[in-house]
Chains A and B, each alone.
Chain A
Amino acid sequence: MPRRRDVLKLAGALGAGLVLGGRSARSDDDPVGPLRYDTIRERGILRIPYYEDFAPYSITTAEGPRGIDIDVAREVAKRIGLQPHFYPLVAGEKIDDDLRNGIWRGNVIDRSVGDLMFHVPYDRQIQLNNDLVVLFGPYFEEGFAIASNPEVLPGGFDPESDEGRRIGVEIDTMPDFWLSSANGGRLRNAAVHFARPLDAVKALGKGEVDAIILQAAQIEAFAPHHVPKASVKPFLMGGMFRSRWTVGCAVRETCRPFVYEVGDALGAMAGDGTMARIFAEAGVTWLAPQR
């Protein structure tokens, strides 16, 4: 065992040496490349990539990373006795890209790589497609919600009769897909596309759209500030359109011991009320994951 550790240390030193001539890696003094569980424990540092423009879950602020996922990650790191090091991850086109860039291969430019990722859908197909990572630790249930202007839509949004309304959605999300194709595409012209969810919420506040369909947490966190009068309801699309999903964690396949340690910490946080409190502080209702 000590011998393997020595080899790993040497590998880490070599990796660090290789970047000396170049610019410094983003994640401070971290050795380049994926580490094994033993080395992470020995160093005492847990590297955690996060989406930097993804409020209320995670966002980069002047004071550093903030958000629900960041708070959950800090608490988990504390409970398993490691120091969290956060660094931002740019979302790829698919979760597979994020798992590759975030925890198994690392960043293609500076080669920084994380050890534990939060906010990964707990989904069998994703697990099958990404055999270098382990998905585990579901910690909440996410879905879509609709916020509508009660003066324009007093009875709420009715897809059968409201095709002349303007409905804000984030581009290429499930609600966008639903508006563009349901009922033979009758609602296609109702869809108003936004690149960022917060812009959709602001547009509802200014009366530029009549309703918005976004992730429930985004509506719960943003609506009170921008559209306090909005009527908010869960939005279920039915059929093939997935309206709810479970969110968990992922680690590199070589770091399996974290599956149990982090899984236990998350379970305890659900049980002792920590999880509900973290979500509530962000204005979001915590829904326990459905297994």
Chain B
Amino acid sequence: MATTFRRSVAAATLAIAAMGFAGLGHAKPVTDKDILGDVESTGDVLTYGLGMQGQRFSPLKLIDKETVKGVVPVWAFSFGGEKQRGQESQPLVVDGVIYVTGSYSRMWAIDAKTGKELWEYNHRLPDGIMPCCDVINRGAAVYGDKVYFGTLDAKVVALNRETGKVVWSKAIEDYKAGYSITNAPLIVNGMVITGIGGGEFGIVGKVYALDAETGESKWTRPVIEGNVGTVDGKPSTMTGTKNASWEGDQWQTGGGGTWLGGTYDPKTGLLFYGTGNPSPWNSWLRPGDNLYSSSRLAIDPKTGEIKWSYQTTPHDGWDFDGVNELISFPLKGADGKTIDAAATADRNGFFFVLDRTTGKFISASPFVSRHDWASGYDDKGRPIYNPDFRPGDPSKGGGADGKGKSVFTAPSFLGGKNWMPMAYSQNTGLFYIPSNEWGMDIWNEPITYRKGAAYLGAGFTIKPLYEDHIGVLRAMDPATGKIKWEYKNRAPLWGGVLTTGGGLVFTGTPEGYIKAFDDETGKELWSFNTGSGVVASPITWDMDGEQYIAVVSGWGGAVPLWGGDVADYVKSFNQGGMLWVFKLPRKS
């Protein structure tokens, strides 16, 4: 009986899906040219970041500072099931179809006008996956007739855009070793390019380029010196110089996860990837800069070779995991000349501006109120460390129970800014940074237990710095390093930012709101309660002469898992899984 019932439901779903496509006609293939023109083509959103450079800027201005107060929801779509948590995805909009990913490696195609589901893909996850920081996914990529995303079991999956059926599926690493993919892939020159996340044990971060048609490996590039990359499956060149900044064989397991993915700059033809913290956590065990952990790398997409690197936290001892996105933009100098620059707001609390052609350091300015571990950067781009704020060497003692000396330092390991992408406005020339004000007690601990045996450990306890707020949305002037305005939020900010030609900055809050701010003053102009925390990145596009805004709602991510004292405040937030779409009411 139950089986019959389920069968008939499945048949009905198929029939509905078929009808949906009959109405839409054949999907138009997405080309490299379409992808490169994503910023200008306002009728679609073809890339994670609303353009390959990741500026998250749309020139649309139908919704502006005057009209935004009238914005209302058009439809909402529930992801369904019991898997209501951790929605960090940015949707794509292609030919009137929205492609959105959800937690637990799921994807939906939805009619952008009506909110009707066209298909759902539910990836069959093995039970042995160990995602470190919730079961999230950050978004998909489109190319040709396919839509791509990475899964928690470290696969890249290509689906047919019309049917949601698997065209190819390729494991790029072994999930049993702790690898997983949560980042949105990039499409460059017919290749799907992705980073990878991994547990803290014995991995080396890599960037992977796969043939978009077949899933075959084109190249891989390990990000830790001494490891050798591949081209077409065969060993290629070594990353950096073996043992230049690592001792012994530690580089073989040196960390540097590329879990947040990257951006691409068509002007210089370079991929930009951030790399995570070095392993092990206890920095006293690995003297040296530990290249290229906690760095930004420029990679040639044709060859997989590293063109330049800049390390934001040499010899990272705070889990400052420097994966943050590097966004290309034109920097206007005092002399009126424009430099091809790029900016990144690091977990370590500093906002960096680099020359994106060469990687040359231009400036580093704090974007949070405390940055105890370093007073600033010298003119070569090296941090000026404050040694009192590095957690103590446990073999020298100083802490309780054989622990190393504990220090309280800000920012915490969850970062002045974590994964959530900032935005750059071509209108104001400002960056809008979703930042957090928190510190941590951190110590190196001789003992933790893993698999029933004694291992090396580290301890953290996160604490807010202020009573009334943790999250602060800040407008940063990249030319001066000055903060132009800020907006404080009680809970930590964990969602991405969008800025528009209409002079607006959009972002979400864990309290459940999607909000719009004046891009020049930071004044809150509009908000809407989505019913669950917003920890995803909003998008905008136009359709039939109207401007639409969309954002995914669904509380989760790393804060409730790792947040220490902060978790107590956020534990009452309800989980969810909804895509919300907004616009102005049609004039009659």
Contact = CB atoms under 8 A, between A and B. Distances in A.
A191 B248 contact: yes
Given A18-B82, A242-B447, 19 more contacts: A94-B449, A95-B449, A95-B450, A109-B125, A109-B127, A120-B452, A121-B452, A142-B453, A173-B454, A174-B446, A177-B456, A181-B284, A185-B287, A188-B248, A188-B285, A189-B247, A193-B252, A245-B454, A247-B452
Contacts of B280: 172
A149 interface: no
A90 B249 contact: no
B337 interface: no
A174 B456 contact: yes
A171 to B, nearest CB: 5
Interface in A186-234: 188-193, 195, 215
Interface in B138-185: 176-177
Interface stretch (A19-27, A34-42, A260-268, A276-284): A19-27
A281 B247 CA distance: 41
A44 interface: no
Choose among B127, B452, B457 the residue with the greatest number of A CB atoms under 10 Å from its CB: B452
Question: Main SS of chain B's interface residues?
Answer: loop
Interface in B360-407: 393-395, 397, 401-402
Contact of B285 (A18, A90, A177, A240): A177
A126 B248 CA distance: 33
B528 interface: no
Contacts of B451: 51, 54, 91, 95, 98, 119
A126 B449 contact: yes
Considering the complex of A and B, which 5 residue pairs feature the smallest CB-CB distances, nearest first? A240-B402, A119-B452, A95-B449, A180-B285, A90-B128
B559 to A, nearest CB: 17
B586 interface: no
Contacts of A215: 453
B202 A172 contact: yes
A189 B248 contact: yes
Contacts of A21: 6
A21 B13 CA distance: 14
Interface in A127-161: 142
A120 B395 CA distance: 26
* Interface-centre pick from B129, B252, B450 (highest chain A CB count, 10 A): B450
A88 to B, nearest CB: 7
Contact of A241 (B2, B397, B446): B446
Interface in B442-479: 446-457
Nearest to A178: B395
Contacts of B401: 125
Contacts of B126: 109
B124 interface: yes
A92 interface: yes
A168 B130 CA distance: 27
Nearest to B281: A172
Nearest to A54: B451
Residue of B126, B131, B456 most packed against chain A (CB within 10 A): B456
Contacts of B395: 181-182, 240
6 contacts: A88-B128, A90-B130, A95-B449, A109-B126, A173-B455, A215-B453
Contacts of B82: 18
B248 A171 contact: no
Interface string A236-275: 0000111001010000000000000000000000000000
A51 B451 CA distance: 7
B453 A26 contact: no
A195 B446 CA distance: 20
Interface in A1-53: 18, 20-21, 23, 26, 51
A98 B453 CA distance: 12
Contacts of A26: 127
Nearest to B402: A240
Contact of A23 (B124, B129, B282, B402): B124
A193 B402 contact: no
B454 A242 contact: yes
A93 B200 contact: yes
